[in-house]
Structure 1
């Protein structure tokens, strides 16, 4: 069974702040001694960050982590009311780029129109003929800003280890190897428990500690 994980991680000592901004129906659960995870229906992978999370991040640092195993994984680090760092590694990164450009070029068309009308493939072929895909992949780690993980009480040693794995040379310029980094990332951070955790599953199972 493929993993679908999505949630916002914060220091356990900061969980009181969540109660002021929690969305109705959201939940919070203890991840381990150091971290808790806040779960809501919002999944903001490449999307606009919910205003409630922006407000919460003005008070405490937040790490939104996601792993949709067959598709993509990554994180968005929020601090002082803005996105301070992010990483997004996707098997279908070429398709994501083509679709992003297509949406800008044809804003009134939906995915099905772009796909079945052949426009998406046309844009993809144009990009493939150039160097856009290669340049985009080479830049995948550019916004990691791993030093900012210190905001989550991550040690210098842990940050050094993250820097060793989150770079293009470590994955031998291979997207498949990049997709496999999620487990190493979690182990270094000490969030191994962040697996098969998402709002609907935790609510259904009743494994949460607080329901808002």
Structure 2
């Protein structure tokens, strides 16, 4: 039991160290949380996707990804183009900022539909080549170094994802007072635009 708990704790710490960073997926989840828009669906997609990818890495599928680098290259190009487009949309929003409406949604425009939010979340998650390199290859390699306790490591890493995305999404509403002001949205959208566009350009350049 101590060995299992140690592996799970190591997985939790390693998983958090990989996902707690400014990135496209985190920026999207935070924005949805602030808007209080389809947060449960977005959090569930991110957490479940991570769980699937972590399970794939623990199962040894990382070797398959390593054997087919061309697949990662294709995902890199598609994901890079998607991030650049998303960044440009954020830049356009920054030119026309609006505060939060009384119900929690952002004023000055229609909210994002559930379908649009789900598709965007799936694209930001699965079209990011780093998710395969970090979650499948890196976490998978570290997990397998724990031998028979590798699944405990995987459970710990998946738990870290759940805690992080739930905190980011559901905790975003605490910033509602700040984002009642259009100027705060302008700053956030500028940060998102710069982050998404920079990540997209770097992905395409490395592809």
Scaled to the shorter chain, the TM-score interval is under 0.3
Structure number with the higher strand fraction is: 1
Please give the TM-score of this superposition, normalised by the length of structure 2.
0.26
Please give the TM-score of this superposition, normalised by the length of structure 1.
0.25
Structure number with the higher helix fraction is: 2
Structure possessing the higher relative contact order (Cα contacts under 8 Å, 6 or more residues apart): 2
